[in-house]
Structure 1
Amino acid sequence: MSIKVTVLVQKEDNWYVSKCIDNNVASQGKTIEESLSNLKEALELYYENGKPETMNVQTFITTMEVAI
């Protein structure tokens, strides 16, 4: 079985941090690819003993401009 999750990647200092928005599981790596690979492993361990509560929920992410 496989699921799709929504992931946010941000650069923090010399690391890339990947965070799954659906469940707050996060990981990091020196490259984007390493960060995503580490997050995939963390998610597999997170869901190892059970299915996610919500599956296939559509999530929309966008940007917006705010005057400051």
Structure 2
Amino acid sequence: MPTLDDLIAEAALRKTELARETGIAPATITRISHGGPTTRVTVNKILKVLERHLGRRIEIEHVDGLNITK
């Protein structure tokens, strides 16, 4: 299973670009990608942008290392 960092790299995005497109702070994206706690809503915002760049659906359950608290 890919990690969030794997998907970001595959989409050829920098975290600052992903942050701009999602409205989520770059530090928050870094924290999430390193296993920090987050919500399902926040992860879904990130995955929607990655899906658009990658041209495919990404299921939250198929991303390794996420620490979803709510």
Band of TM-score, shorter chain:
0.3 to 0.5
Give the structure with the higher percent strand.
1
Q: What TM-score, normalized by structure 2, do the two folds share?
A: 0.32
Q: What TM-score, normalized by structure 1, do the two folds share?
A: 0.32
The structure whose Rg is larger is 1
